[in-house]
């Protein structure tokens, strides 16, 4: 049987095992995301040289200090959301927010995390809802996570906490509707079974109602919420304002 522990080359697995041991020793509250969360929830494996470690912001200083004391090179890559730990070609991404500062990791993520056995450790893995929530905002030219989301919905959608995701996406509901339409296009035979009609109808109604509202007074481009580079011209040269949205 294929498991998280049977995939990957030996050098990578040794690094992951060592990293998990140190995370346990420093008593960090964390969850694995990235390729291993996708594997856990969908069965799709990707060879990778890093572990995505999600944690509340209060946890990353403890992790960096502890790994640093063990001889690892550490880096506070972006104090708003990301730190790193390096060993040779391998590294940990320590993620406590997202690049747009919308999906801040907090205790709710830990409460909804799934449990899995990996390399002899019982670990927390990001819930499908939190994975989808993060990935809905990744729509760059270089990386677009719609396929990951569709696979997550296909494999986990029947047991999905749709009300929680709807609450998380309330202010940016357009992105959720876009994704559901993508899923309908990709998996027309599964759409009716997996996507709740109440949610789809609600989002379509909200979209139609936009014509009943007055046009916004400000010229706003929300593009940087989903791609931090491709919409720079809108803000710098074309006079659009961008926005910073608080987490739900």
Could you tell me the pTM of the whole model? 0.91
The torsion defined by the Cα of 77, 95, 63 and 164, in degrees rounded to 10, comes to 160
What ranges do the domains of the chain cover?
A: 4-126, 137-215
pLDDT at 186: 98
Which residues sit opposite 121 in a β-bridge? 118
CA gap 148, 22 in Å, rounded: 29
pLDDT at 247: 40
Run of H or E residues at 184: helix 173-186
CA gap 233, 125 in Å, rounded: 38
Q: With the C-alpha atoms ordered 13, 17, 19, 23, is the resulting torsion angle positive or negative? A: positive
On whether the CB atoms of residues 176 and 160 are closer than 8 A, the answer is no
- Residues in the chain predicted with pLDDT less than 70, given as ranges, are 1-8, 244-248
Written as six digits, the tokens of 219 are 């010229």
Q: Which architecture does CATH list for 4-126?
A: 2-Layer Sandwich (3.30)
């Amino acid at each position: 049987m294929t498991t998280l522990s049977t995939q990957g080359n030996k050098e990578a697995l040794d690094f992951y095992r060592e990293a998990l041991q140190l995370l346990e020793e420093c008593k960090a509250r964390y969850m694995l995301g990235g390729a291993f969360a996708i594997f856990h929830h969908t069965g799709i494996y990707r060879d990778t040289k890093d572990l995505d470690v999600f944690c509340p912001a209060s946890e990353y200083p403890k992790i960096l200090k502890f790994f640093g004391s063990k001889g690892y090179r550490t880096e506070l890559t972006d104090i708003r959301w990301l730190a790193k730990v390096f060993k040779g070609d391998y590294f940990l991404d320590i993620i406590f927010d997202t690049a747009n500062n919308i999906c801040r990791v907090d205790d709710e993520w830990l409460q909804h995390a799934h449990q899995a056995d990996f390399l002899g450790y019982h670990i927390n893995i990001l819930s499908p809802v939190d994975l989808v929530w993060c990935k809905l905002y990744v729509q760059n030219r270089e990386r677009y996570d719609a396929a990951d989301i569709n696979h997550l919905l296909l494999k986990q959608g029947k047991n999905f906490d749709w009300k929680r995701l709807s609450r998380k996406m309330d202010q940016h509901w357009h992105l959720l509707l876009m994704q559901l339409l993508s899923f309908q296009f990709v998996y027309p035979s599964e759409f009716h079974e997996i996507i709740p009609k109440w949610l789809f109808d609600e989002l379509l109604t909200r979209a139609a109602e936009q014509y009943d509202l007055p046009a916004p007074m400000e010229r706003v481009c929300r593009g940087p919420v989903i791609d931090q580079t491709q919409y720079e011209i809108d803000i710098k040269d074309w006079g659009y304002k961008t926005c910073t949205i608080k987490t739900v």
